[in-house]
């Protein structure tokens, strides 16, 4: 996999980032090691660990430990594996913790425990999952400043922040000489690209923030037929089935034309956006990862990008829903 710039950082990263949240839950130790080996062999270099829930050490260990222990065991088997690897963590914060007197101490303790489970001295990137009831962002940046100064955390990023919150956080950081946010992670998929396009694309481009596309396959919703029992209903409920059929028809046509799978074509489309640095995927087998890496290496033509995106052009408020467009596919098909 060719590497690409990672925002304004000094890093270059692979177009696919490997999420490990399912390691230890849906993926065995042997499978996890095989996935990590394959990912690194094929040029992948960004591994995202499972999120640490900073409410108390017991919860953090319960949710994060399985995946972190497996990644840590894999790293410990060969010290050279850490070289060139970009290790990204995520930290969740609850309102109760943010209001606690020992907030800063507990946040740092959870991060240190995570590093210990991972058998590493530092996070290349620590992403903060923030909610509106979590209190002032400057309080968290202040809590994490010692870890940044000690090089236990090299860079900070935002996950799930609204765009205005990212801009505000970095403005506060600049004024108070606090660590700034250098990356943004949010959902972006062909199923529903509108939140990214409306909120994050311009922000990341103008401020040179690296964007990590979360759930780029939308739990494989488009890869399954509308009546498939394997569809994730949470994603399927996002948009009317007529919209999903419209996009799926176009996706199937482009995939067939390219000799690719639906998932490979979806990933190629997400990664074709110039503001996207990488897409985070959670493979549960080496075979699945191989398919997705082949998709990440693909390049869509401008016509294919426009064809796939056409049904989702933002409509004026109150406009009627987009109708199925089978006729468009037939009309644009060559020959």
What's the rounded mean pLDDT across residues 135-153?
89
Is 298:292 a contact under the CB 8 Å cutoff? no
∠ CA(23), CA(24), CA(30), 5° rounding? 80
pLDDT, tens digit, 9 for 90 and up, residues 262-298: 999 999 999 999 999 999 999 999 999 999 999 999 9
**How confident is the prediction for the chain on average, in pLDDT?**
83
What's the rounded mean pLDDT across residues 209-218?
95
Res 332: pLDDT: 37
What's the rounded mean pLDDT across residues 129-158?
86
Q: Coil, helix or strand for 159?
A: strand
User: Of the segments 44-53, 138-147, 304-313, which one has the largest average pLDDT value?
Assistant: 138-147
Of the listed ranges 92-101, 122-131, 247-256, 273-282, the one predicted with least confidence: 92-101
pLDDT, tens digit, 9 for 90 and up, residues 288-326: 999 999 999 999 999 999 889 875 444 444 443 433 333
- Which residue in the block uniquely carries the two structure tokens 């799926």? 248
What's the rounded mean pLDDT across residues 159-184?
92
Q: The pTM is what?
A: 0.86
Q: Quick check: 330 pLDDT over 80?
A: no
Residue among 145, 80, 154 nearest 115 (CA): 154
CA 183, 186, 190, 196 dihedral sign is negative
| CA separation for the pair 31, 24 (Å, rounded) | 10
Domain annotation for the chain: domains and CATH numbers: 4-237+263-302 (3.20.20.100)
Q: Quick check: 225 pLDDT over 70?
A: no
CA 113, 117, 118, 119 dihedral sign is positive
What's the rounded mean pLDDT across residues 156-180?
92
What's the rounded mean pLDDT across residues 240-245?
56
Is 45:13 a contact under the CB 8 Å cutoff? yes
| CA separation for the pair 183, 189 (Å, rounded) | 18
Is 15:279 a contact under the CB 8 Å cutoff? yes
């Amino acid at each position: 996999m060719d590497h690409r710039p990672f925002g304004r950082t000094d890093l270059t990263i692979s177009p696919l980032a490997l999420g490990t949240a399912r390691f230890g839950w849906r993926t065995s130790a042997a499978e996890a090691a095989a996935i990590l080996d394959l990912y690194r062999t094929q040029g992948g270099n960004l591994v995202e660990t499972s999120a640490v829930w900073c409410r108390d050490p017991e919860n953090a260990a319960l949710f994060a430990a399985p995946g972190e222990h497996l990644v840590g065991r894999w790293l410990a088997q060969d010290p050279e594996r850490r070289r060139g690897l970009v290790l990204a963590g995520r930290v969740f914060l609850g309102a109760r913790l943010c209001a606690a007197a020992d907030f800063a101490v507990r946040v740092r303790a959870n991060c240190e425990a995570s590093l210990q489970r991972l058998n590493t001295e530092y996070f290349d990137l620590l992403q903060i999952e923030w909610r509106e009831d979590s209190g002032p962002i400057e309080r968290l940046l202040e809590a994490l400043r010692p870890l940044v100064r000690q090089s236990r955390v090299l860079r900070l990023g935002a996950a799930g922040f609204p765009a205005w919150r990212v801009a505000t956080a970095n403005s506060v950081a600049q004024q108070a000489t606090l660590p700034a946010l250098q990356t943004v992670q949010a959902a972006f998929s062909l199923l529903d690209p509108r939140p990214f396009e409306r909120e994050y694309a311009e922000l990341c481009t103008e401020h040179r923030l690296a964007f990590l596309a979360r759930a780029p396959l939308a739990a494989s919703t488009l890869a399954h037929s509308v009546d498939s029992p394997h569809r994730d209903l949470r994603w399927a409920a996002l948009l009317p089935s007529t919209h999903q059929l419209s996009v799926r028809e176009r996706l199937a046509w482009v995939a067939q034309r390219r000799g690719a799978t639906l998932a490979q074509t979806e990933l190629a489309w997400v990664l074709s956006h110039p503001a996207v640095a990488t897409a985070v995927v959670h493979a549960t087998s080496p075979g699945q990862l191989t398919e997705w890496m082949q998709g990440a290496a693909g390049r869509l033509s401008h016509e294919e990008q426009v064809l796939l995106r056409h049904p989702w052009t933002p409509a004026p408020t109150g406009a009627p829903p987009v109708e199925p467009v089978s006729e468009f596919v037939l009309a644009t098909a060559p020959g």
